[in-house]
Structure 1
């Protein structure tokens, strides 16, 4: 009898062990404004050793795309597994829960399924949105400057009624924790130590390289400003008049001209700051990854690195995001399975067309959890077999007010965009570009070139699959 009981106990323990492997911990590094300027993506200038090491432990997706190149809607899409046109929020000003009490989010779903859910730094754009879905919630912090002269400048500007932000970059000789992403990493490490015996889902929201490009001096010192090339400052010929923006986000920072293109010196300073900010958050990611190893958690933790959208650093004479161009919607995405997973791959790339909206179904399937209907697609089978046939296209959109919407798609070779008038229910303009990584060479809209006639027809059909013309004007808009 005792032998039977022992066998039963061992069997139960084995079953629990297998279930534990099937339900890994999950850590998502959600980075703000990070384009594919990383060593693992072939950039020889940037210093990103820790992200490169993570890519070496998993699958790097070359063709990953955000659904809208702006923070709030992109993050809502990621955290609900639904596309912006289903959510109906396209601006920065409307929190998810102010319009959608019923939508099930990633933290809500995992918390209901026994996970400790943790939010650190910038996860939602609106820091308190969906707060009850997090077991542990560290609010995002406001932009921070630490140099005394900049603090004095900001105080002086505020006294004059100035409504903008402080300087667009800063390089104080301080420790990592002096700026907010260093504190995010510190909080992540301390939280991991507290919850190491629990099953957890942790989002580590890193705000850099978002403006202002504030990072400790030691990360600036990794680069020589003279090495940064200033891109061409012209929009592609025959591009739609609203395809680009006046990059108002950068215009609000002190020292940036209110109109016109930037001079080369300012452009190089900003690019220097952007790259320094990448190296800064790379170091924070390295600290968290080391903690996972030190606590013996890495063997059962799935790690994902992703960005909410891309970014322009002067390409086309523009800055920031807020467009449908490839450079704004193409994002880094790395998926690294837990070391206990039997098919863990390393140093692998995939050319499959994948999307940020795929995160929710991916981590749910990895955890053995069945979800409600989602609009993304789990990437687990693709992680196991990166070369398998996948989606025909990836899709994004961007509005220009409430009347005009830009719908866009890529097949990996071309990016095609239609600008749609919601009132007249007609196409205002079309654009076709090659998805080249050298954005210096994109100088003309190819849509009217005879040699690309069949390419346009093919891309029109691909766009219609996701955005049928007879439905476009009916997509909801809940923005304030």
Structure 2
């Protein structure tokens, strides 16, 4: 009897050790302001060989969505598995921990389960949310300018007591590490060498193509600026008056006019800079991926490539994000499982509706952990079977101040948005856009009798997530002056 019990203990200990060894490492490339402007997504202009290669080694999602097209709430949602409306935080000015002290974050849970957790670059928007939750922490760095002309402009602005934010782009003939994303990949590579014998969850926060579009000249030289078309500045017919923000954060940069549309020359330059920044990020992804191979870590590491939200580069005459439009809420998402997983899928494209809020529960499922309650759900079964259907719909929010809340739902083909009084839920205006073949749509079909059934269907889907009798949680704090 004692012998059997002893054998049981050995067997239990062995199986537990094997289970622990089978838990994968996780590396997340978390990119800022990146829409699906990538070669693997069919872009005719973007040069992204390393990201394309990653897509060929995993599952690429064509219908992935962010929960809000702005940095702070979007990133909180990813790192907690909770939606902005659950947290009641809709602006960039409120840190998560100022409001929610006890919400369990992804790094906290993985730390508790024996993982080394690593934050490099921009992961959370607020550094106050970052520092205490990670085993290894390289904070978000300030933007670097290397062009002597731009440095002189910034110094002059400082002397004049003006906003020294600097120009909207920079392209010096320097090494990758001269700009902050090159340093981020350097830190990631150094950390992988140190943690190669540990289980780890690593976020590599790549800040480009967020403004300013600062990247080494060699990435600008990869493109012919005349290949970039100036997009239509037309706004959708029947669009709600607050649906779009014309400038977003772009107008804060030196050399950008405060009023009127950008001319074609400046528009092309900025589009060029956006693409140069994407290729710069692509190169950093390639360096980190090569390090995984060199250290024999790829076989035990699941890779996620994602963005916090989409982006506009002149479409609708608008720039940046800050809306409920399809182009701002749809994001690239690629998942490539560890190579020693025998049933892993490669070179597959999924049409399933998935959301960034699903990432945390998916990683809990993947790593065999026990997590807290989530708003999102695990998409591991879709990663393993890419043809499987996802959710019926995906939702996002965008507040216009404290009084107006925009809520939106997509089924992958249609996007329905309601702009509501944030207190009474009175519908101020509705929008219905068709997106069967494009991220853009130029006609609001809400109220059109021909599309009445579609609108009713989409309205019901929207109200599942945003019922009219449930008040919006408002935990945002006013901006400090």
- TM-score strictly above 0.5: yes
SS at match of 1:333: strand
SS at match of 2:90: coil
| Shift of residue 4, structure 1, vs aligned partner | 11
SS at match of 1:230: coil
SS at match of 1:43: coil
Counterpart for residue 447 of structure 2: 448
Contact residue 164 and residue 252 of structure 1 kept, 8 A: no
Please report the TM-score for the alignment, with normalisation by the length of structure 2.
0.96
Sort the Cα spacing of 1:13 and 1:297 in 2 relative to 1 into closer, same or farther, 3 A: farther
Contact residue 22 and residue 368 of structure 1 kept, 8 A: no
Counterpart for residue 405 of structure 1: 405
Correspondence 1:282 to 2:282: yes
Counterpart for residue 233 of structure 1: 233
Counterpart for residue 460 of structure 1: 459
Contact residue 78 and residue 357 of structure 1 kept, 8 A: yes
Counterpart for residue 154 of structure 2: 154
| Shift of residue 458, structure 1, vs aligned partner | 0.6
Correspondence 1:478 to 2:438: no
Residues 238-291 of structure 1: CA distance to partner in whole angstroms, max 9, x if unpaired?
Answer: 100000013230000111100111100101000000000000000000000000
Counterpart for residue 330 of structure 2: 330
Q: In the aligned structure 2, how far is the partner of 1:171 from the partner of 1:6?
A: 67
Residues 154-211 of structure 1: CA distance to partner in whole angstroms, max 9, x if unpaired?
Answer: 0101111212521101111000000000000000000000011011000000000000
SS at match of 2:208: coil
Contact residue 21 and residue 300 of structure 1 kept, 8 A: no
Sort the Cα spacing of 1:5 and 1:252 in 2 relative to 1 into closer, same or farther, 3 A: same
Q: In the aligned structure 2, how far is the partner of 1:199 from the partner of 1:267?
A: 45
Superposition RMSD on alpha carbons, in Å?
Answer: 1.8
Contact residue 82 and residue 374 of structure 2 kept, 8 A: yes
Q: In the aligned structure 1, how far is the partner of 2:181 from the partner of 2:127?
A: 15
Counterpart for residue 51 of structure 2: 51
Sort the Cα spacing of 1:307 and 1:451 in 2 relative to 1 into closer, same or farther, 3 A: same
| Larger mean Cα displacement after TM superposition, 14-23 or 458-467 | 14-23
Q: In the aligned structure 2, how far is the partner of 1:17 from the partner of 1:39?
A: 41
SS at match of 1:453: helix
Q: In the aligned structure 2, how far is the partner of 1:181 from the partner of 1:274?
A: 14
| Shift of residue 235, structure 1, vs aligned partner | 1.1
Counterpart for residue 186 of structure 1: 186
Counterpart for residue 428 of structure 2: 428
Contact residue 246 and residue 317 of structure 2 kept, 8 A: no
Contact residue 225 and residue 268 of structure 1 kept, 8 A: yes
Residues 127-170 of structure 1: CA distance to partner in whole angstroms, max 9, x if unpaired?
Answer: 23142110000011011111111111101011112125211011
5+ residue gaps, structure 1: none
Please report the TM-score for the alignment, with normalisation by the length of structure 1.
0.96
Sort the Cα spacing of 1:112 and 1:13 in 2 relative to 1 into closer, same or farther, 3 A: closer
Counterpart for residue 351 of structure 1: 351
| Shift of residue 11, structure 1, vs aligned partner | 5.4
Counterpart for residue 73 of structure 2: 73
Q: In the aligned structure 2, how far is the partner of 1:345 from the partner of 1:112?
A: 30
SS at match of 2:447: coil
Q: How many residues are treated as equivalent by the alignment?
A: 476
| Larger mean Cα displacement after TM superposition, 122-131 or 74-83 | 122-131
Counterpart for residue 306 of structure 1: 306
Q: In the aligned structure 2, how far is the partner of 1:50 from the partner of 1:328?
A: 24
Residues 62-96 of structure 1: CA distance to partner in whole angstroms, max 9, x if unpaired?
Answer: 00000000000000000010000011111111111
SS at match of 2:127: coil
Q: In the aligned structure 1, how far is the partner of 2:137 from the partner of 2:369?
A: 23
Q: Mapping of 1:107-146 within 5 angstroms? A: 107-146=107-146
Structure 1 ranges of 4+ moved more than 3 A:
3-14, 436-440
| Shift of residue 15, structure 1, vs aligned partner | 2.8
Q: In the aligned structure 1, how far is the partner of 2:178 from the partner of 2:312?
A: 27
Contact residue 315 and residue 439 of structure 1 kept, 8 A: no
Q: In the aligned structure 1, how far is the partner of 2:439 from the partner of 2:378?
A: 31
Q: In the aligned structure 2, how far is the partner of 1:5 from the partner of 1:372?
A: 35
Q: In the aligned structure 2, how far is the partner of 1:171 from the partner of 1:250?
A: 18
SS at match of 2:395: strand
| Shift of residue 8, structure 1, vs aligned partner | 8.6
| Shift of residue 14, structure 1, vs aligned partner | 5.5
Contact residue 97 and residue 130 of structure 1 kept, 8 A: no
SS at match of 1:64: strand
Correspondence 1:260 to 2:260: yes
SS at match of 1:267: helix
Sort the Cα spacing of 1:259 and 1:460 in 2 relative to 1 into closer, same or farther, 3 A: same
5+ residue gaps, structure 2: none
Counterpart for residue 196 of structure 1: 196
| Shift of residue 474, structure 1, vs aligned partner | 3.6
